[in-house]
Structure 1
Amino acid sequence: MTRTARLLRASTAMALLSPLLTAAPALAQSATAQSPTGQSATTQAAPAAVPTYSMGAVTATADRTEKAAIDTTAPVSVRTSEELDRTMPSTVTDLLSGIPGVTAYQTAGQPGTKINIRGLQDFGRVNVMVDGARQNFQRSSHGQNTTVFIDPDLIGQVDVVRGPSAVVYGSGAIGGIVNFQTKDAKDLLRKGQTFGGQVTGIYGDNSAERRGAISGYAVADWADVVASVSGSDRGNFKGGDGKKIDASGWESTSAFGKITLTPNDDHQLRLSALRSTFDYTAGTGATADKLETDTDTFTLRHRFTPESTRLVDLTTNLTYSETDQNETRVGTTSNGRKTQVKVTTPGIDIFNTSRFETGSVGHALTIGGDAFHDEVTATRGTGALEFTPGGNRTIAGAYVQDEVALTERLSLIGAVRFDSYEMESETLSAEDTALSPKVTLGYTVVPGVQVYGSWAQAFRAPSITETLISGTHPAPAPFRFVPNPGLRPETAENLEMGTNVKFGDVLMPRDRLQWKTSVYQSEVEDYINQYFNMVRSGGTVNYAASTYGYRNEAEVTLRGVESEVVYDAGFAYAGLTLTNARGKNNLTGKKLTSGLGSRASLTLGVRDRSNGLDGGWKMDGRLGLEDAHASDDGAQAGGYLLHGLYVGYTPPELDDRLTLRVSVDNLFDTEYRDRLKADSLEQGRTIKAGGTIRF
Structure 2
Amino acid sequence: MSSDLRTALAVSGLFLMPGALGAQELIALDEIVVETEAPSADLATASETTVDAEQLQTEFQGASLDTVLRSMAGVTTEGEGGEMAVNIRGLQDHGRVAVTIDGMRQNFARSGHGANGTFSVDEEMLREVSVTRGAGAKSGAIAGAVELRRVTAEDILKDGARTGGDLRLRYGTLSESPTVHGALAARLSQTVDIMLAATHKEESDYTAPDGTRVYAWQQSRSLLGTLGVNTDNGQRFTLSLDRTDKDFLSGVASGYPRDNDMRSRSLRFGYEAEDILGWRVEGSLYRTETRLQQATLDATTLAATGVGRSYDTATNGLLLTAQNYLMIAGREHDVTLTLEGFRDSADVDDPSGSLTPSGAREIWSLAAVDRIALGAGTLTLGLSADSYRLDSEQGRASGAALSPRIALELPLGASFTLHAAAAMAYRPPSLNETLVSGMHPEPADFQIEPNPDLDPEKSRSVELGLSYARRDLLTQGDRLDLRATIYRNTVDDYIGLERVGGLFDSYYQYGNIDKVRIDGLEIEARYDAGQLFAGLAAQLIDGTDRSTGEELDRTAPDRLVMTLGLRSADLRREAGTRITVSGSKTGSSLTYGAWRTVDLFFRQEITDAAEFGLTLNNIFDQSYTPHLDTQPQPGFNAQASLILRF
Q: TM-score range by the shorter chain?
A: over 0.9
Residue 638 of structure 1: CA displacement? 2.5
Inter-CA distance 82–479: structure 2 relative to 1 (3 Å threshold)? same
Q: How far has the Cα of 1:282 moved from its partner?
A: 2.1
Please report how far the alpha carbon of residue 422 of structure 1 lies from its aligned counterpart in structure 2 after TM superposition. 0.9
Query: Is the Cα contact below 8 Å between 1:206 and 1:238 reproduced in 2?
Result: no
- TM-score if structure 1 supplies the norm length? 0.86
Preserved CA contact (<8 Å) 2:77 2:628:
no
1:130 and 2:101 are equivalent in the alignment: yes
Match of 2:368 in 1: 400
Q: Distance in 2 between matches of 1:251 and 1:216?
A: 23
1:603 to 1:404, Cα distance in 2 relative to 1, 3 A: same
- 1:289 aligned onto 2:289: no
Q: Corresponding residue for 1:186?
A: 154
1:564 CA drift (Å) = 1.0
Please give the per-residue CA displacement for 1:401-460, whole angstroms capped at 9, x wherever unaligned. Answer: 2111122x1211111111111101113111111110001111122234321211110000
> Displacement, 1:535?
7.0
Asked if structure 1 preserves the Cα contact closer than 8 Å seen for 2:212 and 2:632, the reply is no
Asked if residue 75 in structure 1 is aligned to residue 44 in structure 2, the reply is no
- The amino acid across from 2:47 in the alignment is P
Shift of 1:207: 5.1
Q: How is 1:134-283 mapped onto 2 (pairs within 5 angstroms)?
A: 134-166=105-137, 169=138, 171-189=139-157, 193-206=161-174, 208=176, 210-219=178-187, 221-245=190-214, 247-283=215-251
Partner of 2:85: 114
1:372 aligned residue: 342
1:273 Cα deviation (Å)?
2.0
Give TM-score scaled by structure 2 length: 0.92
CA contact (8 A) 2:172 2:638 kept: yes
AA partner of residue 54 (structure 1): V
**1:493 paired to 2:460:** yes
Q: Work out the CA distance in 2 between the residues paired with 1:467 and 1:192.
A: 53
Counterpart of 1:645? Answer: 600
Would the aligned equivalents of 1:116 and 1:126 in 2 still touch at CA under 8 Å? yes
Within the candidate set 644, 658, 668, 2:610 is matched to 658
**Structure 2 CA distance, aligned partners of 1:10 and 1:459?**
33
Distance 1:612 1:350 in 2: 41
Deviates more, 1:361-370 or 1:431-440: 361-370
Aligned partners of 1:562 and 1:578 also within 8 Å? yes
Shift of 1:530: 1.4
| CA deviation string 1:87-110 (max 9, x = no partner) | 323422023131111001233xx2
Aligned AA (1:240): P
**Residue 54 (structure 1) aligns with:** 33
Which residue of the partner structure matches residue 319 of structure 2? 349
Deviation readout 1:218-251 (Å, 9 max, x if unpaired): 3565344321110111111221325431x22111
Which of the numbers 670, 682, 686 marks the counterpart of 2:633?
Answer: 682
Equivalent pair of 1:494/1:521 in contact (CA under 8 Å): yes
Q: Secondary structure at the match of 1:215?
A: strand
Contact 1:318 1:349 in 2 (8 A): yes
CA drift of 1:123 comes to 0.4
Match of 1:602?
562
User: Helix, strand or coil: the match of 1:682?
Assistant: coil
2:288 aligned with 1:317, yes or no? no
Secondary structure of the corresponding residue to residue 625 of structure 1: coil
SS of alignment partner, residue 279 of structure 2: coil
Q: Is the 8 A contact 2:286 2:316 kept in 1?
A: yes
* SS of residue in 2 equivalent to 1:602: strand
SS in structure 2 opposite 1:187? helix
Classify 1:587/1:57 alpha carbon distance in 2 versus 1 (closer, same or farther; 3 Å): closer
Deviates more, 1:472-481 or 1:93-102: 472-481
Any gaps of 5 or more consecutive residues in structure 1? 27-52, 66-71, 537-541, 632-636
**Deviation, structure 1 residue 263:** 1.7
Instruction: Quote the Cα distance in structure 2 between the aligned partners of 1:190 and 1:524.
Output: 47
1:101 and 2:74 matched: yes
SS at match of 2:135: coil
1:74–1:165 CA contact under 8 A, matched in 2: no
3-state DSSP class of the match of 2:614?
Answer: strand
> What does residue 302 of structure 1 align with?
271
Q: CA deviation at 1:505?
A: 0.4
Look up the equivalent residue of 1:685 and give its one-letter code: F
Q: Which runs of 5+ in 2 are unaligned?
A: none
Partner in structure 2 of residue 513 of structure 1: 480
Query: Which whole-Å CA distance do the structure 1 matches of 2:590 and 2:293 have between them?
Result: 33
What residue number does 1:32 align with? none
1:388 aligns to what SS in structure 2? coil
Q: Does 2:438 align with 1:471?
A: yes
The number of equivalent residue pairs is 635
Distance 1:532 1:642, change over 3 A: farther
What SS is found at the alignment partner of 1:595?
coil
SS in 1 for 2:66: helix
Contact 2:42 2:369 (8 Å CA) reproduced: no
The range that moved more, 256-265 or 511-520, is 256-265
Return the alpha-carbon distance in structure 2 between the equivalents of residues 432 and 393 of structure 1. Answer: 12
What's the secondary structure of 1:335's corresponding residue?
A: strand
Return closer, same or farther for 1:334/1:531 CA change in 2, 3 Å cut-off.
Answer: farther
Q: What letter corresponds to residue 646 of structure 1 in structure 2?
A: F
Pair 1:435-2:390 in alignment:
no
Q: Which residue of 2 aligns with 1:481?
A: 448
**Cα displacement (A) at 1:184:** 2.1
> What is the alpha-carbon distance in structure 2 between the residues aligned to residue 558 and residue 283 of structure 1?
31
Identity %: 27
